[in-house]
Amino acid sequence: MIRRDVADTAVCTGLGALAAFGVLAIVVVGANGDTLFTDDDLHSWSLAHRPDVVVALARGLTATGTGVVPYTLAVLAGILLGRTVRHRLLAVALCVACLGAGQAARYTVMHLITRPRPPQADWASHASGWSFPSGHATTAVVTAGMLVIAVVVRAPRGRTVLTFVIGCWGALVGLTRVYLGVHWFTDVMGGWLFAVGWLGLCLGAAARWLPEHFVVGTAGMTREPAVAAKGTREQAAAKDRT
């Protein structure tokens, strides 16, 4: 797949996810703080199924969706993406910027919509701010997406298992917010959609505007052997003529 195809696919996916997010946001605003779809059912189920061990595991997993962990993983994604020190520094900077700017954009949207959280008496974990879209869900999916891209680009062998594990982590962080009672499920859906949209736009911009040898990482490797092979064939032909 050529760069333009990657950029177009990423941008189209991102715009589609953002359009779906926009529709969901309009529905949330129109509901004026009321719950939607399966919000009540999943919230009630979570309250009725909270053994101590599972709650502890959910708290541990939800903690990986904020703070230093996502940024550490973003740095790891950048290191995996680059092939040289300079490329790795640039990739790390871009990954961290993608995550940080995405969080800032999500925070702005959250304050525009101002959806209340579930009742505080139902919380099994700390939470702050408004409810929609979920910050943990957004952060985890953006981070997981960058890691998946890095694994797909740089680890052709065994990447299926790695991408599955990373994807499960990204999704489960959001689901723990519902289980711990601090978000409605539609908050998490909003976070997922916003994250996919943001990541799609960032990937599209990177695929379109970064230098080819940085994006592909094999430009020099594909051109140089071809040139060398051509030179070898020409030398052999010259020897035959002499």
Cα dihedral 56/57/61/66 (nearest 10): 0
Rounded CA separation 56/240 (Å): 76
**Model confidence over 185-195: pLDDT tens digits?**
999 999 999 99
CB atoms within 10 A of CB 228: 10
Domain borders along the chain are 1-211
Tokens 């982590």 -> residue: 169
pLDDT for position 208? 84
Tokens 């879209």 -> residue: 133
**Model confidence over 21-76: pLDDT tens digits?**
999 999 999 998 888 989 999 999 999 999 999 999 999 999 999 999 999 999 99
Do 79 and 92 touch, CB atoms closer than 8 A?
yes
Rounded CA separation 127/5 (Å): 41
CB atoms within 10 A of CB 77: 29
Tokens 């976070």 -> residue: 191
pLDDT for position 220? 37
Residue partners of 122: CB distance under 8 A and separation at least 6: 43, 47, 181
pLDDT for position 198? 97
Tokens representing 208 are 């379109």
Residues in the chain, pLDDT under 70: 1-2, 212-242
pLDDT for position 241? 52
